[in-house]
């Protein structure tokens, strides 16, 4: 269990922070950017859940995902080390479960006939916002990996699948597709 007795440390006053490993890095570090975007996505899901409480199954799934986003943040905040044990890492089974749940939600939806604008119900609008922040987190994790840093492949796959899940969840939260807002190409020309 994590125990925080003091919230401020003053190390951030000079633009530094510490990774879960204890290593001090710049707050502009790619690893900090990646887990920071994951934290922001989690906050967006918290907003969405204010509007999903009437759907026990969807709300429970989003609650589990919020917990997994803390796991994902811990994964990204902990650079891999040779011979590590007992380090929290994302696993493929979490990605697989997201796929199954995405497919189950999608079964309740009509086929897409157009691109969808973020909006509709409050739950759907917030889920779309969370989806875009997850995409940013995914881009940050990919940049981190492309910089030569080790990143758990399951972490990147989870982010990719989560954005897909949130797109389908937003459609589902839009009255099973009935309240979707469709893009009309060239409508204002």
Instruction: Output the pLDDT for position 52.
Output: 97
Q: Which is more confidently placed, 9 or 172?
A: 172
Compute the average pLDDT of residues 161-182: 94
Q: Distance between CA 92 and CA 96 in Å, rounded?
A: 6
Selection from 98, 110, 112, 27 nearest residue 69 by Cα: 98
Residues 48, 124: contact at Cβ < 8 Å? no
pLDDT > 70? residue 134: yes
Q: Distance between CA 59 and CA 68 in Å, rounded?
A: 14
pLDDT > 70? residue 142: yes
Instruction: Output the pLDDT for position 101.
Output: 96
- Please write the tens of the pLDDT for every residue from 4-41: 666 777 777 888 888 888 888 888 899 999 999 999 99
- What is the percent of the chain with per-residue pLDDT over 90, rounded to a whole number? 72
Q: Distance between CA 163 and CA 7 in Å, rounded?
A: 31
Instruction: Output the pLDDT for position 170.
Output: 97
Residues 88, 75: contact at Cβ < 8 Å? yes
Q: Distance between CA 56 and CA 111 in Å, rounded?
A: 24
Q: Which of 148-152, 159-163, 169-173 has the lowest mean pLDDT?
A: 148-152
pLDDT > 80? residue 166: yes
pLDDT band, residue 1 (cuts 50/70/90): low
**Domain layout of the chain by residue ranges:** 26-77+89-182
Q: Distance between CA 63 and CA 188 in Å, rounded?
A: 39
Structure tokens at 108: 């309740």
Residues 39, 12: contact at Cβ < 8 Å? no
Instruction: Output the pLDDT for position 178.
Output: 84
Instruction: Output the pLDDT for position 4.
Output: 64
| 26-77+89-182: CATH class | mainly alpha
DSSP code, position 13: G
Q: Distance between CA 24 and CA 6 in Å, rounded?
A: 18
- Please write the tens of the pLDDT for every residue from 50-89: 999 999 999 999 999 999 999 999 999 998 877 777 788 9
Instruction: Output the pLDDT for position 2.
Output: 62
| pTM > 0.95: yes or no | no
Instruction: Output the pLDDT for position 23.
Output: 85
């Amino acid at each position: 269990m994590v125990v925080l007795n003091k919230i401020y440390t003053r190390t951030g006053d000079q633009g530094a922070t510490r990774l879960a490993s204890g290593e001090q890095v710049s707050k502009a570090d790619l690893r900090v950017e990646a887990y920071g975007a994951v934290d922001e996505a989690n906050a967006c899901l918290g907003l969405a859940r204010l509007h999903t409480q009437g759907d026990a199954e969807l709300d429970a799934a989003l609650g589990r995902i919020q917990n997994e986003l803390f796991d994902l943040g811990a994964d990204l905040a902990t650079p891999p080390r040779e011979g590590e044990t007992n380090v929290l890492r994302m696993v493929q089974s979490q990605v697989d479960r997201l796929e199954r749940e995405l497919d189950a939600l999608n079964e309740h939806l009509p086929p897409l006939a157009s691109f969808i604008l973020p909006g509709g119900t409050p739950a759907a609008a917030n889920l779309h916002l969370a989806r875009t922040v997850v995409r940013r987190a995914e881009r940050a994790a990919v940049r981190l990996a492309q910089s030569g840093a080790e990143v758990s492949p399951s972490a990147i796959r989870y982010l990719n699948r989560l954005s897909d899940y949130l797109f389908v969840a937003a459609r589902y939260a839009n009255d099973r597709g009935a309240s979707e807002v469709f893009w009309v190409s060239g409508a204002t020309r």
